[in-house]
Each structure stands twice: as structure tokens, then as C-alpha cells.
Amino acid sequence: MIRAIVTDIEGTTSDIQFVHNVLFPYARQHLAAFVRDNQTDEKVVAALNAVREESAAPQASLDDLIATLIGFIDEDRKSPGLKALQGMIWRAGYVEGQFTGHLYPDVLPAFERWKQQGIALYVYSSGSVPAQKLLFGYSDEGDLTSLFSGYFDTAVGAKRETQSYHNIAEHIGLAPSSLLFLSDIHQELDAAAQAGWHTLQLIRGEADNASRHHQVNDFSQINPESI
Ligand SMILES: CSCCC(=O)C(=O)COP(=O)(O)O
Ligand SMILES: [Mg+2]
């Protein structure tokens, strides 16, 4: 019996194009000014130090770090330091109404149905927890944050590593066999399945013939009671 559903964001609840054509360019455009203006902020300092460590450049200047971060954005690197900064930068875009968090139309009705069935909802994304809360807090469908019991980012581990799913199960306090992970990326689902989770793959666009996971095209095709 499924007692909690953990969902990925990009390619699962939300269009990859929104992330790549709206969020990433916005962060790219505002990154240098944001970092310079907020270079003494505790969270910015921590993120920049994480980038120094990740890029093995302990003496990197602010200009060096900005160039590194732009490179990370362009290669879609799931860098925790970059992801933390992106979340901080996106806040202004959401709050000023420059964009809303994209949601496929099948997502909210499914979340509401699952909640009514007594299933707890969680998010696991490479985007930072504050970035996840912004996307769902300023979504196309309004503020959905009250639907979620918790959020996970790469602080629990990378999405393709089995240990991350053991860690999440421990945080949630439920057996892996009662957890369902939804993602568009079969390598993430492989890791979750290895940890004993149920898995479903969202195919929002191109087919994935290399996957061994059950596939659906949208959330209306998911019935946790039949898993
Ligand atoms: C949390 S909103 C932005 C998504 C993001 O930055 C990202 O890297 C997407 O990663 P996901 O794990 O959701 O595919
Ligand atoms: Mg994804």
C-alpha cells in the first residue's frame, strides 16, 4: 500500500522548457549583480564557498566564481552551490510576477485526489528546497505549498544514488515498500527501485526505450491504490 508519494519536478510536474527557457536564463541574467550585491550575506557566502570547493579553486575571486557559475548553468550542472544561488535569485522573479511555476494541468487534480486518499506528498528535486517552495508557492495554480509534507534536495544525496532514497525514507519515517517515486529520468528511478521503492516514469515528451519502469504520460493515469 502506497502511503507517500515523492515527486520530481523538472519533466514530471513541470515542463523542462519552463526550467530551461525561463528559470535558467533569468538566473544567468541576474547572477553577477546578485552575487556582487549580496556577497556578504551568510547564505551567499556559504554557496560561493561550496562552489570554490566543488571547482577545486579555494582562492577563486568573485569574478572567477561568477564565470564558473555561468558555465555550470550552461552545462545544467546539478551543483549544490549553484542550486542554492538560483533559488535566491528566482525569488524576485516569482515575487514580482515575472513568471509563475509551470505545472502540467493533470498535476493539481492528482495531488488533491491522493491527499484525499490519505497519501502524504513530498518533493525531491536537484533544485534547492527554497527553489522548490517558490515554484509550488507561486505556481500556475496558486500556492500549493500546504499540500506537501516535506521537501528534499541534494542535501540528502544525488538523485541517481540509491543511498539518497534510503535517506529520504528514513526522514519520512516509512518503509521503502510504501513509498512511490515519480520521475522522468530512469536512472533516478533505478536508484529508488534499488532502495526498495515503487517507481513510475513520466513520459511527457520523447519515449524512453531504455527504461525498465512502468511508464505513464500524465498524473491522471496514476492510481496509487492499484500499486
Ligand atoms: C526546483 S525548481 C528548478 C529545477 C532545477 O533547478 C533543476 O535542476 C531540476 O532538477 P530536477 O531534479 O527537478 O529534475
Ligand atoms: Mg526530472
In tens, the pLDDT along 155-210 reads 999 999 999 999 999 999 999 999 999 999 999 999 999 999 999 999 999 999 99
- CATH 3.40.50.1000 maps onto the chain at 4-16+101-226
Q: Flag whether the pTM goes above 0.95.
A: yes
- CATH 1.10.720.60 maps onto the chain at 18-95
| C-alpha triplet 88, 90, 95: angle, nearest 5° | 105
Q: Which atom of ligand 1 is nearest to the CA of 183?
A: 14
Instruction: Kindly give the distance from the C-alpha atom of residue 152 to the centroid of ligand 2, in angstroms, as a whole number.
Output: 14
Q: 179 has which bridge partners?
A: 4
Buried b (16+ CB within 10 A) or exposed e, 16-54: eebbeebbbebbeebbbebbeebeeeeebeebbebbbee
What CATH superfamily classification does 4-16+101-226 receive?
Answer: HAD superfamily/HAD-like (3.40.50.1000)
Instruction: Kindly give the distance from the C-alpha atom of residue 41 to the centroid of ligand 2, in angstroms, as a whole number.
Output: 30
Interface pTM (ipTM) of the complex? Answer: 0.96
* CATH number, span 18-95: 1.10.720.60
Task: Calculate the alpha carbon distances from 2 to 129, 207, 212 in Å.
Answer: 24, 26, 20
Share of the chain above pLDDT 70, in %: 100
* Residue-wise pLDDT tens digits, 117-133: 999 999 999 999 999 99
Instruction: Kindly give the distance from the C-alpha atom of residue 20 to the centroid of ligand 1, in angstroms, as a whole number.
Output: 10
What mean pLDDT value characterizes the chain? 98
